[in-house]
Structure 1
Amino acid sequence: MSAQPKTPEPNVVNGINVDDLFALIEGVRREPAKGKTNWRVATTWQGQARSRAEIESYEIGGEKVPRRFSIDIDEPRELGGSNRFANPQEHLIAALNACMTVGYVAQCAVRGISLESLAIETDGEIDLRGFLGVDPAVPRGYEKLNYTVRIKGSGTKAQFAEIHEAVMATSPNFYNMARPVALKPALIVE
């Protein structure tokens, strides 16, 4: 009987398959079109101030990949909602934090740094006079967001500072929130 050759175990750090991540990076480096992604969310009104965002798929490298998720969104009672779900601002901040979290985990993983804990706390102020149209001179959204990253693991302070800079330089949602994004609206009245 011949022994079966052992398949090498994947290199997994912080739950990230680093071998797969490096393969993705190299594949995109060789063929930039493989790195093109498209994200789509359809949101429908559910009554009162509630809405449901639904995701059916995304595209990577020109290929459609099925994904089925629903995200329910509401407002606090004080803002006309039923307070059943997080509101759009909380989802926006959660999306920023989640995107940066992935960045910290991946940046640590590719450096072989094991994480013990990671938390990001973000806050910002919105003056309702702008949103409610009370004063057109008041901004309708955030002027700034403050966030604090608490990270603990096998890295040094210098390594974590380098990772922090790398996350700010590469996180898609940090990028999206740190500069204007062109919005191209279309209205269809049915």
Structure 2
Amino acid sequence: MEQHAMIAEEALLINGLDVTAARNTIAAIQADKSLARFQFRARNTWISGGENRSTIRDFYGVGREDDSRTMTFEFTNGEPAVLLGDNEGANPVEFLLHALAGCVTTTFVLHAMARGIHIRDLSTELAGDIDLQGLLGIDESVPPGYEQIRIRMHVEADCSEKDLEDLMTYAQQHSPVCNTVCRPVPVVIERAKG
């Protein structure tokens, strides 16, 4: 009897995600759409030169301020020497690649779980092309951001190639970071008062 219970418990996990918890979350949001509204936050402090540090801890979600995090996540932004830094950390456009990779991966795994697809191995390689003439104000016709970002996914899963292609397309369309990068999103920069 105990072995049967362990097998049933294992069957509820696909790709390390709890299928029952996912279904319960979806049902709760379908019943009360306000639970889907989240606000994530970051705080940043300039240190010196190209070095600055971001901290992340609190957020709003499922209808309340969340206090489940017991530690603050800290990320140091830096620049390579060729861009006047001391390699204090990855630079912000590299962190964007990190955020994009993480979000596309998580979205892919989540929707694979929802489709009952078991992933055996998954890794991604990202490359972004940027022309610094835009950042430096040398040529105003050159955008200061990435011109193109390429994501190469290496996937081994228990499904057909067509199912993998469909899942990759779906993950690209439903990844919050990918969607944010691929469409114009208003960003308001204002001076704090006081």
Q: TM-score scaled by structure 1?
A: 0.91
- Displacement after TM superposition at 1:189 (Å): 7.0
Q: Which residue number corresponds to residue 90 of structure 2? A: 86
Q: Which residue number corresponds to residue 9 of structure 1? A: 9
Q: Which residue number corresponds to residue 19 of structure 1? A: 20
Q: TM-score scaled by structure 2?
A: 0.89
Runs of 4 or more above 4 Å deviation: none
**Selected match of 1:165 from 165, 169, 185:** 169
Q: Which residue number corresponds to residue 145 of structure 2? A: 141
The range that moved more, 24-33 or 110-119, is 110-119
SS in structure 2 at match of 1:167: helix
In 1, the alpha carbon distance for the partners of 2:115 and 2:142 equals 44
In 2, the alpha carbon distance for the partners of 1:26 and 1:168 equals 24
SS in structure 1 at match of 2:74: strand
- Displacement after TM superposition at 1:36 (Å): 0.5
**Percent identity between the two aligned chains:** 28
SS in structure 1 at match of 2:190: coil
Q: Which residue number corresponds to residue 3 of structure 1? A: none
SS in structure 2 at match of 1:143: strand
Q: How many residues align?
A: 185
Q: Which residue number corresponds to residue 52 of structure 1? A: 53
SS in structure 2 at match of 1:51: strand
Structure 2 letter corresponding to 1:147: I
Structure 1: any 5+ residue segments left out of the alignment? 1-5
SS in structure 2 at match of 1:71: strand
Aligned-pair Cα RMSD in Å: 1.7
- Displacement after TM superposition at 1:115 (Å): 1.0
In 1, the alpha carbon distance for the partners of 2:142 and 2:164 equals 38
